[in-house]
Amino acid sequence: MIGCELEIKTLDGVAKAYVTRPAGTTALRGAVMFIDALGYRPTMHAIADRVAATGYVVVVPNIFYREGDYAPFDPKTVFAGGAELQRLMKLVTGYDDRAAMRDAATWLDFLDRRDDVRERAHGAFGYCMGGGLALQTACAYPDRVAAVASFHGGRFLTTADGAQQLATRCKAAAYVGVAQIDRNHDQAVTDRLEAAFTTAGVPHAIERYPDASHGWCVPDHPAYQAEGAERHYGKLGELFAKHLR
């Protein structure tokens, strides 16, 4: 694998990003990976490496770049509650979705400009709040995203008609992986999404991961579940192999 950190200029500043791809000179399809709420860190880079190894150029932007050099979060400390959880929630609740979608265009532009990325319809995927951002990106730029995946995602059903709005604006093939234990995504949310995607004619799959809790895909998360994480790599690989050809 060839991975490196670099900087991407945005409309609002400069963001660090990690870019990874298999060794070689062949031009590949590209994908944007949206990080979880715990921030830009080596664990996210390792997930990107795993996905890129199957034949993609993956960029992982630091979506919280407007906060400057914030101290990294220790997941175990965060989920124990207290000051670190408050610091994390301040970061997340202060995140502006409109600014995020301005940034999303910049991440897609970055892939477009690379000589080692072919064509202009990319993939998008993410975890936790990043899953919601991936889906929002597919809706905001329907002609630029061909396949989108959300794993234990959030932030994409924030209004009563959120599911319908998402489905009618999305042209990408979609995969939504849901934890069996997730207070923010229960069966009612799945039913709304399923109905909306079906009515809109969006190719999709929504799957529940048994015995998994929110965060099961991410190795440094207390809810990490190795079996479910392996399954998620397989499902993401199937989605990209079919729709990013």
pLDDT higher than threshold 90 for residue 125:
yes
Domain count, the chain: 1
Using the 8-state DSSP alphabet, how is residue 66 labeled? Answer: G
Sign (positive or negative) of CA dihedral 176, 179, 182, 186 = positive
In this prediction, residue 167 carries a pLDDT of 75
In this prediction, residue 34 carries a pLDDT of 98
Instruction: Determine the average pLDDT of the residues in 26-52.
Output: 96
Q: What is the pLDDT of residues 154-208, one digit of tens each?
A: 876 656 566 777 778 889 999 999 999 888 888 888 888 888 889 888 999 999 9
Q: Which of 137-141, 186-190, 209-213 has the lowest mean pLDDT?
A: 186-190
Instruction: Determine the average pLDDT of the residues in 208-212.
Output: 93
Q: Which residue range forms the structural domain that includes residue 92?
A: 2-243
Euclidean distance between CA atoms 148 and 58, whole angstroms: 13
Terminal CA-CA length for the chain = 21
Q: Report CA 178 to chain centroid distance, whole Å.
A: 13
Q: Indicate the pTM of the whole model.
A: 0.95
Closest by Cα among 217, 223, 221, 219 to 236: 217
Q: What is the pLDDT of residues 46-91, one digit of tens each?
A: 999 999 999 999 999 999 999 988 888 888 899 888 899 999 999 8
What does pLDDT average to over the chain?
92
Q: Look up the CATH number of the domain holding residue 212.
A: 3.40.50.1820
In this prediction, residue 162 carries a pLDDT of 67
Euclidean distance between CA atoms 153 and 176, whole angstroms: 8
